[in-house]
Amino acid sequence: MKNSLLIILLSFFTLGIFSCSREGENLEIEEYTGPMFESENVRIMITDSTVVKVIMSGAKQLQQQNGDVEFPEGIKVTFYDKSGEKISELTAQEGFKAAEENFYRARGDVYVRNLQKKETLSTEELYWDPELHEIYTDKFLTIQTEDELIMAEGMRAPEDFSTYELVKIRDSEIILEEK
């Protein structure tokens, strides 16, 4: 009886060992390539001597494994002057910053508004260099002032959009207001 029980136990043990063995199979582990971090309702403040200079915000921020940062659901960048007054805003449908480069790319319905001069730039793609404090594009753009609609291809300006240098100016229109 003890021998029968021992044979049965050895049979189950042997069966268990061979059924778990996967000899000859190459198991490949699929590498995860998605974002390392995902944040919602992000607000990033950039200060200089405790004075807020820039506030970046977005509904969602993704940090990729290679260090790239994406704002896939829109980005808003607000610029402030030395006294802390809001002077301009940049908005876009999406934002991107490559890890190895220190500039941001805004894409899709990009608007830059100078709040003091009441001028608005509109384009499909725009770059912001936080080190040089500049915005620029080589795409078609329009600038709406209080009395003009300016069209051009390419532009460079300080991030507060107080002045601008246009590259290829197209036809512009004077806007007449009815009184």
Average pLDDT over residues 55-67: 93
Q: What angle do CA 42, 48, 50 make, to 5 degrees?
A: 80
Amino acid 77: pLDDT: 96
Question: For 15, phi and psi rounded to 5 degrees?
Answer: -60, -40
Q: What is the pLDDT of residues 90-110, one digit of tens each?
A: 999 999 998 899 899 999 999
> CA 119, CA 55: separation in Å to the nearest integer?
20
Q: What is the pLDDT of residues 113-150, one digit of tens each?
A: 999 999 999 999 999 999 999 999 999 999 999 888 99
This prediction has a pTM of 0.77
> CA 78, CA 112: separation in Å to the nearest integer?
10
Domains, the chain: 34-174 (2.60.450.10)
Question: For 77, phi and psi rounded to 5 degrees?
Answer: -120, 120
